[in-house]
Chain A
Amino acid sequence: MTPVLELRRVVAGYPDRPVLREVSVAVAPGDVLAVLGANGSGKSTLVRAALGRLPLTSGTVALFGTPVHRFRQRHRIGYVPQRLGAGGGVPATVAEVVGTGRLSRRRLGSRPRPADRVAVAQAIAAVGLAGRDRDPVATLSGGQQQRVLIARALATGPDLLVLDEPTAGVDAPSQLAFAGTVSGFVAGGGTVVLVAHELGPLEELVSRAVVLHDGRVAYDGPAPRPSGYCADWPPPAGPAHVHVHPHAPAEPPGIWRGDDR
């Protein structure tokens, strides 16, 4: 099966100091991949490279089997940035922001079709903001604003959701609503790539985890479960492994706590 997203030996970053050093990751359809790692480990750079927003020093990135620079079916990707960019000086409603998610499917200058309105309404409902579509985004809480950005990504009707730290600084109700939204998306056959510092309520959903350390893949495998293999400390003897669940004792430095803010 063609991977939804495939990075092969990707080197990217600054010419003299690559942020990603030969990173290879393949995401299969239906995967929920968590990209974990400390600040500065290259998580966000990996997302930017995956979306074709960063020139590669070497290596290749393919989306749905097409090299990223030739990939035109942008509506198949739903992107949720870390936080709302600059915001802007003019108010905007929830429906207006979510509506921009439909533009990758609309011809320039065309009128919105009924399908566009339906998709926007459904996406707003999917993140638990039904009835708030005419509210100014600025009047929402931080967590609700984050949900607006997720609705914008869902309105596109994507096959792949790319989320950059979607729950950072988000209140608990919004985190739960968010986990529910993502699980609905996955149940419908969607693929998710999720950059995270902590998984929180998303932990149950994650099927696979990649841990970046200093621009390299330090771990790639099944999602860690604190209640499983490593729940008992010390862990049983076995092949070398990396702890990726936060707050566990005796973590290897640099993976989680090493260069925390």
Chain B
Amino acid sequence: MEIFASQFMQYALLGALITGLAAPALGTYLVQRRLALIGDGIGHVALTGVAVGLLTAQAPVLTAVLAAVAGAVVIELVRQRGRTPGDVALAILFYGGIAGGVFLVNLSERHTSASLTAYLFGSPLTTTGPDLLVMGLLGAAVLVVAVGLRPWLFAICHDEEYARVSGLPVGPLNLLLAVATALTVTVAMRAVGLLLVSALMVVPVATAQRFTGGFATTQWLAMVIGVLAAGAGIGVAGGYDTAPGATIVLLAIAGFAVAAPAAAGWRWLRRTGPDRTGGAGAEPPELAVSR
């Protein structure tokens, strides 16, 4: 544990843990909606924000938040309207984002495309105190939304038409989910980088749902897995001098690779155990409804 003695390692660990907690919490909804790669797209858009920050000597995190939120809102509006072919509109936005980032950063005299590498692949070891504060605030906001509004966000992701008939504020909730996705992307930018963000939003969820049967339990287990992968990743990176963002993601994927067959074996054991369900059998129809 002495590798965490220095302050920059502590900052790196804290930042990674915030990311490991927030990314899967929000990612559960994206996986539910089968929009697993949307985080990747928003990451592309955020790159333009980073470049604006570098060009204007503002904090890149803040400009990235603005660009990511704007991109997420546009993506959500395109999705709601459903008129434009969704994939084409999204492709324009994504590649516009990354091209804009590269174009803008090269306008600056002090920066080149190489300056973007830290944001594309993460550089948790350079996390500063103010960075950590921003990450903590954004991460807390994401968790409040993702955990606090779980039944409502689950409802709109599970059956949007039913949610509308129920009178839920589906449009605002969708926008809130989009904004929270954008915030998650910028939180994760430091730890794993914009190109690897989606991995932490998706892979822990994919691993968790091998073992779970419910939405809430999947979300909680995914957050535990995310925190473990992020913490272990920083530890390994610090101890063996590997690239931290890539290490975190590879550990998460290794977890999935181990968990998938393990879960299959576990289900096989349960199936061969005593039958605990009545099957699709005939429940009697003498059922009273209390209204």
Binds B, one of A7-15, A102-110, A220-228, A234-242: A102-110
Q: Does B132 contact A (CB under 8 A)?
A: no
Binds A, one of B50-58, B74-82, B205-213: B205-213
Nearest chain B CB to A249 CB, angstrom units: 31
Q: Does B166 contact A (CB under 8 A)?
A: yes
**Do A53 and B167 have beta carbons less than 8 Å apart?**
no
Binds B, one of A21-29, A32-40, A177-185, A209-217: A177-185
**Do A109 and B212 have beta carbons less than 8 Å apart?**
no
Q: Does A74 contact B (CB under 8 A)?
A: yes
**Do B215 and A96 have beta carbons less than 8 Å apart?**
yes
**Do B33 and A88 have beta carbons less than 8 Å apart?**
yes
B148: chain A residues within 8 A (beta carbon): 109
A180: chain B residues within 8 A (beta carbon): 284-287
Q: Does B277 contact A (CB under 8 A)?
A: yes
Q: Does A81 contact B (CB under 8 A)?
A: yes
**Do A134 and B214 have beta carbons less than 8 Å apart?**
yes
A128: chain B residues within 8 A (beta carbon): 283-285, 287
**Do A100 and B159 have beta carbons less than 8 Å apart?**
yes
**Do A91 and B281 have beta carbons less than 8 Å apart?**
no
A61–B13 Cα distance when bound, in Å, is 58
**Do B166 and A92 have beta carbons less than 8 Å apart?**
no
Q: Does A190 contact B (CB under 8 A)?
A: yes
What 1/0 flags go to B147-160 for Cβ under 8 Å of A?
A: 01101101101111
What 1/0 flags go to A94-123 for Cβ under 8 Å of B?
A: 001101110110101100100000000010
Interface residues of A in 143-201 (CB under 8 A from B): 143-144, 152, 154, 156-158, 171, 173, 176-177, 179-181, 184-185, 187-190
Interface residues of B in 235-253 (CB under 8 A from A): none
A156-B166 in contact given A81-B159, A96-B215 (Cβ < 8 Å): yes
- Measured CB to CB, the nearest residue on chain B to A158 is B291
Q: Which residues of B contact A (CB under 8 A)?
A: 28, 31-34, 36, 148-149, 151-152, 154-155, 157-169, 205, 209, 212-216, 218, 277, 280-291
Besides A122-B290, A181-B289, A184-B289, 20 more A-B contacts (Cβ < 8 Å) are A53-B161, A72-B167, A77-B165, A81-B159, A81-B162, A89-B32, A90-B209, A96-B214, A103-B151, A103-B163, A128-B285, A132-B277, A135-B277, A144-B280, A154-B291, A173-B281, A173-B282, A176-B282, A185-B289, A188-B291
A-B contact pairs, 9 of them (CB 8 A): A85-B159, A85-B160, A88-B34, A100-B154, A108-B149, A132-B277, A135-B213, A141-B280, A181-B287
